[in-house]
Structure 1
């Protein structure tokens, strides 16, 4: 076997391991002065090894990983949540933070995050609602690996479980009818309208793949208990499709716009995102809320947005 990488950054090692696994390359990680990794301390550099016949391909992937992965973490909720994420391609913005803020706290129970990416919404929700456990589903192995490392970095292993899998072939651990709340940030760009030059990781997060919006809604419905809540953040231009997908299975729909800014020059501008919440098996009529303005005229966050994004407060719909 040959060494392709030496590092004591366990998050980076996990990212590279997932990248190699995507290409069918199995890596072995050893401590520099020990024969096995288990039982070592993080300060000791670790060696990543691959078979001789896979060395050249593995080195190409390692160089790609160095370009993609950011060694410097980001911090959310005024430093309360640490987040490792790719340097390029998909990077969490405020959407998952707003999503997590809108999810119900009660009844106490399990929460499912569908398409969790690097775990942003799950982490923010777990910070705000310490009484509920979160399971988070992610299809992309690299993103799932980063999500697990982010959970560990925030000391939330006992409250957040990352599950790698496809919602069209649901892992058995995500049992039907077992979640009080489900949250999701589904891809909102139709495949026919996607930019073909978009980064693949970003495309997987933003562009609809083999699972369409109706599949996301159906999957969420099956996992929820009766009267359980579903909370989504989505593109308002597809609100009609979303309402059609909810029809018949969900009721009590709340539409909450997120307005970009205030001021005379912003008059008449459309909301860029909407938060939509609904409950399984209820018949309460839908309602449209005033919503939340995100930015002042000078571009700074409004005080209401600041309380959510910096202090981790709930977004009451």
Structure 2
């Protein structure tokens, strides 16, 4: 059994044999989280994995199906942290996955510098707008806008916590690609793989996946684009496999 609060519900994690607590008024994971958890390199047998800006713990849960290593998620909003904790317990993953409540800027001192083999982050995508334009729902506003952490914060902290030659992977918006690369290099993260996600063939990319190596040598690979929908507005075969696994 699992305790559900207010408008929370227990959803299936698509291709995985897992369940996750979600809420339409607080947080529900998006395709971006699925794509990042599939894109990033992970050690299969062991290792230390870290997910920043974890929300309801969706990326740590996805990563638990790809790696037998230990996974730590960090979330600043107490309600989302609680949802993640209960989902982890419900899926009997307490021995491998844990959540930490707090500001990511405090995590290097709290969890350790240069400790993690892999760091992932699905950060707020947008700079904070004028007060009147911010979403009235505090949970949504914090998740979408750089209110409690900036892009530079997330990259600086990721670099501080990744070990030498460790991987750091982000999902973000293509219009901020140059800024992301500049910040990664500022903190000794060398971009090595990038992949663009397009809603349809012929449409501009609206999502970016990027992975860097701490202290790596220059050499960027641009992977084939992911197309989400076909002309009939149905998921493409590639996207169906990402979401639901092989039939």
Same fold per TM (> 0.5)?
yes
Query: Separation in 2 of the partners of 1:252 and 1:115?
Result: 20
Partner of 2:55: 117
Q: Secondary structure at the match of 2:158?
A: helix
Deviations 1:226-271 (CA, angstroms, capped at 9, x unpaired):
0100010001111111111111411143220011123xxxx2x211
Query: Separation in 1 of the partners of 2:234 and 2:89?
Result: 32
Deviations 1:125-177 (CA, angstroms, capped at 9, x unpaired):
10122x21100000001100110001011111111010001012227441111
CA contact (8 A) 2:16 2:62 kept: no
For the pair shown, the structure with the greater C-alpha radius of gyration is 1
CA contact (8 A) 1:114 1:184 kept: yes
Q: Secondary structure at the match of 2:196?
A: strand
**Structure 1 regions of 5+ residues with no counterpart?**
1-7, 13-65
Change (3 A) 1:193 1:125: farther
Deviations 1:37-57 (CA, angstroms, capped at 9, x unpaired):
xxxxxxxxxxxxxxxxxxxxx
CA contact (8 A) 2:27 2:56 kept: no
Runs of 4+ off more than 6 Å:
none
Partner of 1:10: 3
User: Cα distance, 1:312 vs. partner?
Assistant: 8.3
Q: Does 1:274 align with 2:220?
A: no
C-alpha RMSD of matched pairs (Å): 2.1
TM-score normalised to the size of structure 1? 0.72
Query: Separation in 1 of the partners of 2:38 and 2:31?
Result: 11
Higher mean Cα deviation, 164-173 or 136-145?
164-173
Q: Does 1:206 align with 2:144?
A: yes
- After TM superposition, the structure 1 = structure 2 runs for residues 256-295 of structure 1, keeping only pairs within 5 Å, are 256-262=195-201, 267=202, 269-295=203-229
CA contact (8 A) 2:81 2:101 kept: yes
Deviations 1:187-241 (CA, angstroms, capped at 9, x unpaired):
0111026832442101111110142111111100111110100010001111111
User: Cα distance, 1:10 vs. partner?
Assistant: 2.1
**Structure 2 regions of 5+ residues with no counterpart?**
none
Partner of 1:161: 98
Query: Separation in 1 of the partners of 2:231 and 2:136?
Result: 31
- After TM superposition, the structure 1 = structure 2 runs for residues 203-242 of structure 1, keeping only pairs within 5 Å, are 203-242=141-180
Aligned counterpart for 2:37 among listed residues 88, 100, 105:
100
Query: Separation in 2 of the partners of 1:183 and 1:284?
Result: 20
Query: Separation in 2 of the partners of 1:205 and 1:77?
Result: 22
TM-score normalised to the size of structure 2? 0.91
User: Cα distance, 1:284 vs. partner?
Assistant: 2.4
Q: Secondary structure at the match of 2:59?
A: helix
Count of residues paired in the alignment: 244
Partner of 1:303: 237
Q: Does 1:146 align with 2:83?
A: yes
Partner of 2:64: 126
- After TM superposition, the structure 1 = structure 2 runs for residues 54-93 of structure 1, keeping only pairs within 5 Å, are 66=6, 69-70=7-8, 72-78=9-15, 80-93=17-30
User: Cα distance, 1:103 vs. partner?
Assistant: 1.8
